Amino acid sequence: MAGVLGSKSPVIAGAINNIQGFCESIKGGGDRDALKTQATKVWGYLSVILALSGSLQGEQLPGGLADALEQLLNGLFSLPENTEFAALTGKVLTVSSKCPSMGSWNLEEPLAMGFPELADNAVFLQGVVDFFSLSMATKLIDKGLTPMVDKLITNLSSSSHDIRSHSLRCLELLHIAEGHRKQVPSVISTAQIIENTPLEISNARNISLYVRRLAGEHSSVPKGSWESRVVPYFCFGLLTVHFSPVWDDAATTLSKVAERDEEMVAMLAFKWLERQHGASPDASDSGAAESGKALLHNFECSNLSMIEEVAGKCVVDRVEAAADLGRRYAEVC
């Protein structure tokens, strides 16, 4: 295995060459489409390296690759409007976490600055988790910690399980990095248990127990702290899962949270409703088969949609009929 990922390995050599070419294109202000093509090649090499290095220790990755990865991360963070490369940034962070020299790369400040824009991507968040797992989060205390925490808490209302799960893990690691020797807040631990429990009927009672427990744990958290925002945001995230037994428990928990933080719950409720109305339903999350039927949001009625479709067709047919009659009249005359 060492030979496969050694300094003379064609995989490593190809990865370094493609990374250096990509970085040169960034510095030269290369065409966006060309950058995407190069990013795809870099992604492929990093995926192979990550798969092969699963059984290797970090120090076994060659130094040349580590230098190239550091250069690539600095280039990605300096790239304007780099949200389309968020997944690649996360992949680079994951591979870089296997390099022991990563701790001296001084990535904390650019990571903190770019985090709010990139943290909507699950692959990026996974990379940040790997980065924080190396105890790098301790250097973030004075370098943009608050914006990162704000974004992570906002992510808890996401409809993506991976985004919620990775965000909770990041919050846990940041809490530890703040120097708290005490146990991680129970609201985070309970939320992690809920996220890690399969959404199956056999687990419905356990999930219900933990969701309802969040209300009591929220009341014990100091008001105004970032931990006090975890439960309301997370409960709105639970309202997006495709497992109806969770919805009632999440709503019950939110009603109890509202007794203490009414304004926050009201604000999140309106934002959540607006997002649900404008979002596109995800076939993969809903588990719906490709039956040819249009997917509906939680607040849409299939009967009303059918009536609107028929009514729209009638209007179109009437306009087309009038135009057709006009053409025929013109031909006769």
**Within a domain: 29:** no
pTM of the model: 0.78
As a residue count, the chain comes to 333
> What is the average pLDDT across 70-77?
90
User: Which carries the bigger pLDDT value, residue 15 or residue 315?
Assistant: 15
Among 37-41, 73-77, 307-311, where is mean pLDDT lowest? 307-311
Query: Quick one: which of 124, 135, 218, 229 has its CA closest to 176?
Result: 135
Distance CA 72, CA 88 (A): 10
pLDDT of 323 over the 90 cut = no
**Within a domain: 217:** yes
Distance CA 78, CA 213 (A): 43
Which residues lie closer than 8 Å to 54 by C-beta, 6 or more apart? Answer: none
**Within a domain: 208:** yes
**Within a domain: 59:** no
**Within a domain: 250:** yes
Distance CA 191, CA 211 (A): 8
**Within a domain: 241:** yes
pLDDT of 315 over the 80 cut = no
pLDDT of 96 over the 60 cut = yes
pLDDT of 254 over the 50 cut = yes
> What is the average pLDDT across 35-41?
91
User: Which carries the bigger pLDDT value, residue 81 or residue 331?
Assistant: 81
Q: Are 85 and 79 in contact (CB under 8 A)?
A: yes
User: Which carries the bigger pLDDT value, residue 243 or residue 330?
Assistant: 243
- Mean pLDDT estimate for the chain: 82
Q: Amino acid identity of 213?
A: R
Among 40-44, 141-145, 324-328, where is mean pLDDT lowest? 141-145
Looking at residue 117, what is its pLDDT? Answer: 92
pLDDT band per the 50, 70, 90 thresholds, residue 180: low
Among 102-111, 120-129, 237-246, where is mean pLDDT lowest? 102-111
Among 22-26, 130-134, 186-190, 277-281, where is mean pLDDT lowest? 277-281
> What is the average pLDDT across 204-210?
95
**Within a domain: 212:** yes
pLDDT of 144 over the 60 cut = yes
> What is the average pLDDT across 50-65?
68
Looking at residue 62, what is its pLDDT? Answer: 75
Q: Of 22-31, 48-57, 65-74, 99-108, where does the model show the most confidence?
A: 65-74
> What is the average pLDDT across 40-45?
92
Q: Are 55 and 1 in contact (CB under 8 A)?
A: yes
Among 23-27, 67-71, 266-270, 320-324, where is mean pLDDT lowest? 320-324
Within 10 angstroms of residue 11's Cβ, the number of other Cβ atoms is 15
The rounded percent of the chain whose pLDDT value lies above 70 is 79
Question: What is the span of the domain harbouring residue 260?
Answer: 202-275
Looking at residue 291, what is its pLDDT? Answer: 39
Among 1-15, 21-35, 139-153, 205-219, where is mean pLDDT lowest? 1-15
φ, ψ of residue 96 in degrees (nearest 5): -65, -25
State how many domains the chain has.
1
Alpha carbon 90 to its chain's center: 11
| Total H helices, total E strands in the chain | 15, 0
**Within a domain: 231:** yes
Within 10 angstroms of residue 31's Cβ, the number of other Cβ atoms is 10
